[in-house]
Structure 1
Amino acid sequence: MATAICSYLPELLCKFPSIDENLMREFKKTVDTGFKGFVRSYGDVLDTALDPLQWFLNWLQNLFVDTPWFIFLLVLTTIVYLASRNIRITLGTALSMIVIGLVGLWQDTMITLAMVTVCTLISIVIGIPIGIVMARSNRVQGFINPILDVMQTMPSFVYLIPVVMIFGIGKVPGLIAVVIYAVPPMIRLTNLGIRLVDKEVLEAADAFGSSPGQKLKNVQIPLALPTIMAGINQTIMMSLAMVVVASMIGVGGLGKNVLQAITNQFFTIGFLNGFALVAIAIIFDRTSQAYGKRLQKHTEVIHG
Structure 2
Amino acid sequence: MDFVEFPAMSRGELRDMRIAIDTAFRDFTRAYGEGLERLFHPIQVLLVFIEDLLIESPWILVMAGLALIVWGLSRSWKIVTGTVIALLLIGFFGMWEDTMRTIAMVAVCTLIAVVFGIPIGILMARSKRANAIITPILDMMQTMPSFVYLIPVVMIFGLGKVPGVIAVVIYAIPPVIRLTNLGIRQVPADVLEAAEAFGSNPRQKLKDVQLPLALPTIMAGVNQTIMMSLAMVVVASMIGVRGLGQPVLQAINNQYFTLGVMNGLAIVAIAIIFDRSTQAYGKRLQKHLEVIHG
What TM-score do you get using the length of structure 2 for normalisation? 0.98
Deviation at residue 17 of structure 1 after TM alignment = 4.1
Deviation at residue 119 of structure 1 after TM alignment = 0.2
| Alpha-carbon distance in structure 1 between the residues aligned to 2:257 and 2:20 | 44
Equivalent in the alignment of 1:5? none
Residue 119 (structure 2) pairs with residue 119 (structure 1): no
How do 1:1-304 and structure 2 match up within 5 A? 9-10=1-2, 12-13=3-4, 16-304=6-294
| Alpha-carbon distance in structure 2 between the residues aligned to 1:49 and 1:17 | 44
| Alpha-carbon distance in structure 1 between the residues aligned to 2:213 and 2:272 | 26
| Alpha-carbon distance in structure 2 between the residues aligned to 1:20 and 1:260 | 41
| Alpha-carbon distance in structure 2 between the residues aligned to 1:116 and 1:184 | 15
Q: Deviations over 1:199-234 (max 9, x none)?
A: 111111100111111111111101000000000000
Structure 2 unaligned segments of length 5 or more: list them.
Answer: none
Q: Secondary structure at the match of 1:77?
A: helix
| Alpha-carbon distance in structure 2 between the residues aligned to 1:172 and 1:243 | 13
Q: Secondary structure at the match of 2:218?
A: helix
| Alpha-carbon distance in structure 2 between the residues aligned to 1:126 and 1:255 | 25
| Alpha-carbon distance in structure 1 between the residues aligned to 2:157 and 2:115 | 22
| Alpha-carbon distance in structure 2 between the residues aligned to 1:64 and 1:72 | 6
| Alpha-carbon distance in structure 1 between the residues aligned to 2:7 and 2:128 | 38
Q: Secondary structure at the match of 2:241?
A: coil
Output the aligned Cα RMSD: 0.9
Q: What is the aligned residue count?
A: 294
Q: Secondary structure at the match of 2:159?
A: coil
Rg larger in structure:
1
Q: Secondary structure at the match of 2:242?
A: coil
What TM-score do you get using the length of structure 1 for normalisation? 0.95
| Alpha-carbon distance in structure 2 between the residues aligned to 1:159 and 1:303 | 43
| Alpha-carbon distance in structure 1 between the residues aligned to 2:287 and 2:172 | 27
Deviation at residue 18 of structure 1 after TM alignment = 2.1
Q: Deviations over 1:14-55 (max 9, x none)?
A: x64421222212211111111111111100100111111111
4+ long deviations beyond 4 Å: none
Q: Deviations over 1:47-81 (max 9, x none)?
A: 11111111111111100111111111111111111
Amino acid across the alignment from 1:96: A
Q: Deviations over 1:103-138 (max 9, x none)?
A: 000010000000000000000001000000000011
Deviation at residue 271 of structure 1 after TM alignment = 0.5
Structure 1 unaligned segments of length 5 or more: list them.
Answer: 1-8
